[in-house]
Amino acid sequence: MTPPNPSFVLRGTVLVQYQGFDRAVTVPDGVTKIGKDAFNGCIGLERVHLPKSVTEIEYQAFYHCTNLVDINLPEELTRLGIGAFGDCAALSTITIPQKISTLSQRLFAHCGALAQITIPKNVTRIEPFAFSQCVNLSDIQLPAGLEHIGQNAFEGCTALSRVALPEGITKLNVGVFHGCCGLNQVVFPENLKRIGSYAFSDCFGLTGLDLPESVEEIGPISFFNCTHLTRVTLPEGLKRLGEGAFSNCRSLREAVVPESVTVLDREVFAGCTALERVRLPAHQTELPRNLFRWCDALTDLQADGVPLDQMPGSLYKRAAAVNFARRIVSGEPFPADRQAAYIKYIRNQKKRLYPLAAQDPALRQFMEAEQIEVPEGGTT
């Protein structure tokens, strides 16, 4: 081994601690491991050269080296410890060696300048918070063999615009892309089964969502506050929609919940202020609490399994009545045992329905067929 600089504290072939203040450091040949916290907090450090002999970098070895801009990772490196480069705010690019198979927790968390990273094909796991708050990371190519992405792995990567998820990903964990406000395109794998809680919450850039047929569960607040989301296609095999899954998606205008859904949680569409048209499964016999809270634009609700008198408010009843009228006029099927209740409601609430009928030809046609005269302009 090369005789060490007095600034290096060595224990055998392990670099235990660096005690110097140099801006550029060359680690001695023969060192095999950079120990826990070895360079932690070396805020004046800018450049590090590691010898080929290094095979492991331990827990937070370079954590909070806020001015580190350049470090080489040797080809024989097999392990990168938790938070090894966390809070290296000036680090803008890095290449991960081919023998690395796991990107550990908080590995590059809060690396604000990190814009480019090369992930090798052997990586199968990205652990929680690995790239959290990497606000300049605009593009990342995930390897085809990737099988696991931990919770909040890319949380707050605000510059990230596109993600293609490999086919080995069957579950998206909690908060994995939470706060990626620039994300506008996601390519989902065909075998995806579950989308975890707030996985895409606060992703303001998403405008359309086409989920694969394999998806069975969308967790609570998964797409909360995706304010520019205008279109969602829910797969026919979907079984569960978690609490607030699409809440506060203020640009969403239409939602069709497939018949396969057996668990429809509360507040799924709460705060979707532009939502006009909704189709619920026929087997849904009651409306969950606050399902359409603050959805004042709702004018067409198909909920055939819910008796009209059991709908929780006038907004729901008017929207269901409009749906009834449209279907009757167009010749679409409607449960025969419910028709009398709808006709009675429309007669009793005709003055409240006049403004809607003035704008909706089908409702107007139905009311006039029932000899309910609709005044011009919708007001008496």
Query: pLDDT per residue over 249-302, tens digit each?
Result: 999 999 999 999 999 999 999 999 999 999 999 999 999 999 999 999 999 999
> What are the b/e assignments for 1-29, b being 16+ CB within 10 Å?
eeeeeeebebeeebbbebeeeeeebebbe
The verdict on residue 171 lying in a domain is no
Distances (CA, A) of 45 to 1, 39, 49, 89, 110: 23, 9, 11, 12, 17
Tokens 């749906």 belong to which residue?
Answer: 323
Q: Do 217 and 280 lie in a common domain?
A: yes
Q: What is the pLDDT of residues 202-234, one digit of tens each?
A: 999 999 999 999 999 999 999 999 999 999 999
Q: Do 14 and 59 lie in a common domain?
A: yes
The amino acid that residue 1 corresponds to is M
Eight-state DSSP code of residue 23: S
Asked if 169 and 196 touch (Cβ cutoff 8 Å), the reply is no
The verdict on residue 277 lying in a domain is yes
Q: Do 107 and 188 lie in a common domain?
A: no
- The predicted pLDDT at position 99 comes to 97
Asked if 286 and 309 touch (Cβ cutoff 8 Å), the reply is no
Eight-state DSSP code of residue 242: -
Give pTM, 2 decimals.
0.94
The amino acid that residue 109 corresponds to is A
For CA atoms 316, 319, 321, 324, give the dihedral sign: negative
Strands 125-126 and 116-118: unpaired
Q: What is the pLDDT of residues 40-91, one digit of tens each?
A: 999 999 999 999 999 999 999 999 999 999 999 999 999 999 999 999 999 9
Q: Do 272 and 219 lie in a common domain?
A: yes
The verdict on residue 130 lying in a domain is yes
Instruction: Provide the domain limits for residue 270.
Output: 177-298
The verdict on residue 169 lying in a domain is no
Q: Do 265 and 359 lie in a common domain?
A: no
Q: Do 289 and 362 lie in a common domain?
A: no
Which of 273, 298, 323 represents a domain boundary (last residue)?
A: 298
Q: Kindly tell me if the per-residue pLDDT of 316 is higher than 80.
A: yes
Nearest CA to 155 among 127, 125, 137, 131?
A: 131
- Contacts of residue 367, defined as CB under 8 A and 6 or more positions apart, other chains included, come to 325, 346, 350, 353, 357, 373, 374
- The predicted pLDDT at position 5 comes to 77
Q: Total domain count for the chain?
A: 3
CATH number at residue 80: 3.80.10.10
Q: Do 146 and 28 lie in a common domain?
A: yes
Q: Do 68 and 114 lie in a common domain?
A: yes
- Across the chain, what does the average pLDDT equal? 95
Q: Determine the Cα angle at 41 with ends 11 and 24, to 5°.
A: 75
Q: How many of the other CB atoms lie within 10 Å of CB of 47?
A: 15
d(CA 176, CA 201): 9
